Amino acid sequence: MIGVIANSSEHAVIREFFELFKTPWEFYRSDGQYEVLLCCGAGTLPDDPPPVTVIYSGQELASDATYGVQIASRREDPCILSYRRSRIPIYGSSIAFQEGAASASRREDSGEAAIYVDRSKGRVIARIGYDLFHEVRTLLTMGQPAVNASLPALELHIAVLRDLIIASGANLLEIPPVPEGYRFIACLTHDVDHPSIRPHKFDHTMFGFLYRAVVGSISRWLRRRASWRVLLANWVAALKLPLVYLGLAEDFWSGYDRYTLLEGGARSTFFVIPFNGRPGHGHGGSAPSRRASGYGAVDIRDRIQTLRAAGCEVGLHGIDAWRDSSRGREELQEIGRLTGISEIGVRMHWLYFDHQSPVTLEEAGADYDSTVGYNETVGYRAGTTQVYRPLGTTRLLELPLHVMDTALFYPAYLDLSPAEARERVRKIIDNAVRFGGCVTINWHDRSIAPERFWGDFYAQFVDELKQRGAWLTTAAETVQWFRKRRAVAFDGVGWESAALPGRATIDVGGGLPGLRLQIYNAPDLCPAGAAAAASSHDAGLNPSVSA
């Protein structure tokens, strides 16, 4: 059991952190029994601390002199720490320590130690030079700048704490964010922005298509971003456009239900726009008119039913739900009316969002949101691979978005070749294998059609996810699985017998993969950095097993 001492202002952040690092913990009680004490900020340590004490703060503390901690430097601006071949961004104040022992983490620019560990008198004191929960709050509210998008910062903070605990000789029980029988989750989603080109006559959408199909294709071919076959296919599509308007040729944007074939039996989520012709509002007032869609969900009612019959999920691609709960309720009700379901997830059109959006969406009645991501790049805006509950909400969960097709291939964004894009997404898959959690992918409805033709890349992407051991599923089922994990409560954790320690009470959802119980039995006082030497094993959790 971990006892946590922190300012009351951080309690909501701490609760959410320990839903992501799913291990037995509680706020410190003077009569409690703890193997590990976690102290953050300026909290006062007890006179007789547990065998392992981990202290986080980006400022000098009164206890530093007691434990012989010597401060080398302090900084208020962000920095990067190196940790076991990983890079951890720090966004708040931080301190570095004078040399005294080998440090597992150092500042990337100066090489100064970021972690100090004292092992004496049968106890371990680990001092970390930043405020953990300030960092977690920053990640879950403000998010990371695009320059750090590739760094799963929150998962790395969990890894540092886990490694410190195990390397200090304490045992650890954890339910990792990994479904039983799989290595991670892959959530396949599609934003339905333009399900047909036929309604777009002499507007920005039509002219944009023609420009990209004719001129843009030449540019991409010259820069080796597209093959000559794609170039030729785009020109043919541009020439066919008048025939499409006359009804003499197939509408080449209307084949987005082919995703069910490309995904090879996996089920995915389609976010559809509720109302035609509404641009909605942006951060500074009315949104640009081109944000308005040429269709409303009622216009594709038959397609929605076909997708539902194939086992796919249909969610809301919201217009104003991010800023107005009454508008959000109207938008959700329209999707509910057409699908017959009451629990509906949201992703905002153009990824419009602000710090109040989670509460607004919850008030509107959304089950989950999947907007937190980048338009311009791929990676971890919230620093995590996991579904989390935004601060200030009580039920709504956030399924962060990690990979979007337009971010990979648009000239204004990353502008990658297929080979470069494969390398970029492979690193995200590697992180999912390492940390668990989810890779959330957004491939737009027309991305398998002219002028994009990104279908081959997507099919290969899905194949690699399968080969790497992913559970491929919808956004709704991904969120349900994380709700199942969050529902676990530990009671009576102890290590007195060889039986599985603790007791897990689990609300099991039908048809979902089970939970895994990871048990680390650490030797007494492992050498610094020797977390890998600790033994561990898994046990599946189900309704008939007490863990």
Write the pLDDT tens digit of every residue in 164-197.
999 888 889 999 999 999 999 999 999 999 999 9
Half-sphere exposure of residue 268: CA atoms within 13 angstroms, side-chain side:
28
Give whole-number Cα distances, 381 to 13, 16, 152, in Å: 17, 17, 9
The angle at the Cα of 75, spanning 72 to 78, to the nearest 5 degrees, equals 130
Q: What is the mean pLDDT of the chain?
A: 90
CA distance 486 to 219: 49
pLDDT-based confidence at residue 547 (cuts at 50, 70, 90): very low
> Which residue segments constitute the domains of the chain, with CATH numbers given?
2-174 (3.40.50.880), 184-195+255-482 (3.20.20.370), 197-252 (no CATH)
What local confidence, expressed as pLDDT, does residue 489 receive?
Answer: 87
Name the band, by pLDDT with cuts 50, 70 and 90, for residue 141. Answer: very high
List own/partner pairs for 226-230 with CB under 8 A and 24 or more apart.
226/453, 230/453
**Quick check: 429 pLDDT over 90?**
yes
Could you give the CA distance from residue 154 to residue 13 in angstroms, rounded to a whole number? 12
Please tell me the least confidently modeled range out of 1-5, 199-203, 349-353, 487-491: 487-491
The proportion of the chain whose per-residue pLDDT surpasses 90, expressed as a percent, equals 79
Q: DSSP code of 5?
A: E
Output the 3-class SS for 166-216.
Answer: HHCCCCEEECCCCCCCCCEEEEEEEEECCCCCCCCCCCHHHHHHHHHHHHH
The pLDDT value recorded for residue 530 is 38
Q: What is the mean pLDDT of residues 199-205?
A: 93
Answer yes or no: is pLDDT of 88 > 60. yes
Token pair recorded at residue 67: 């434990």
Number of other CB atoms surrounding residue 246 within 10 Å: 9
pLDDT at 506: 52
Question: Is the confidence at residue 86, as pLDDT, over 50?
Answer: yes
Strand partners, 90: 79
CA 8 to chain centre: 27
Q: Tell me the helix, strand and coil percentages in the chain, rounded to 5.
A: 35, 20, 45
What pTM value is reported for the model?
0.93
- Integer Cα distance of 234 and 98 in angstroms: 62
Where does the pLDDT of residue 541 fall: very low under 50, low under 70, confident under 90, or very high at 90 and above? low
Residues 6+ apart with CB under 8 A from 435: 152, 155, 158, 159, 177, 385
Higher pLDDT, 42 or 204: 204
Q: How confident is the model at residue 46 (pLDDT cuts 50, 70, 90)?
A: confident
Main-chain phi, psi angles of 71, to 5 degrees: -85, 130
Report the alpha-carbon angle 427-432-437, nearest 5. 150
Tell me the average pLDDT across 248-253: 95
Instruction: Tell me the average pLDDT across 433-446.
Output: 97
Q: How many CB atoms lie within 10 A of CB 414?
A: 17
Nearest to 542 by CA among 98, 30, 179: 179
**pLDDT at position 55 over 80:** yes
**Under a CB-based contact definition with an 8 Å cutoff, are residues 188 and 441 in contact?**
yes
Q: Which DSSP symbol is given to 130?
A: B
> What's the whole-number mean pLDDT along residues 111-122?
87
Q: How large is the average pLDDT for residues 380-392?
A: 98
Query: What are the tokens at 115?
Result: 């972690």
Kindly report, residue by residue over 409-419, the tens digit of the pLDDT.
999 999 999 99
Amino acid in the structure at residue 545: V
> What integer pLDDT is reported at residue 536 of this predicted model?
58
Cβ neighbours, 10 Å, residue 515 = 26
Question: Is residue 543's pLDDT more than 50?
Answer: no
Q: Which residue has the tokens 């509910």?
A: 336
pLDDT of 313 > 90? The answer is yes
Whether 283 and 472 have beta carbons less than 8 Å apart is answered as: no
Spatial separation of the C-alpha atoms in residues 539 and 516, rounded to whole Å = 6
Q: What is the pLDDT of residue 310?
A: 93
Measured CA to CA, the distance from residue 510 to residue 312 in angstroms comes to 17
Q: Would you state the pLDDT for residue 87? A: 97
Which residues lie closer than 8 Å to 232 by C-beta, 6 or more apart? Answer: none
Query: How do 515-521 and 535-541 pair as beta strands?
Result: antiparallel
Predicted confidence (pLDDT) at residue 503 exceeds the cutoff of 60: no
pLDDT band at 545 (very low <50, low <70, confident <90, very high): very low
Distance between CA 443 and CA 447 in Å, rounded?
Answer: 7
- CA proximity to 280, closest of 314, 315, 318, 334: 318
What is the rounded distance in angstroms from the CA atom of residue 245 to the CA atom of residue 199?
8
Which tens digit of pLDDT belongs to each residue from 455-475? 999 999 999 999 999 999 999
Q: What is the average per-residue pLDDT within 351-368?
A: 98
Query: Minimal CA–CA distance to 331: which of 287, 254, 276?
Result: 276
Calculate what percentage of the chain has a pLDDT beyond 70: 91
Residue 388 DSSP class = B
4 pLDDT exceeds 60?
Answer: yes
* pLDDT given at position 496: 46
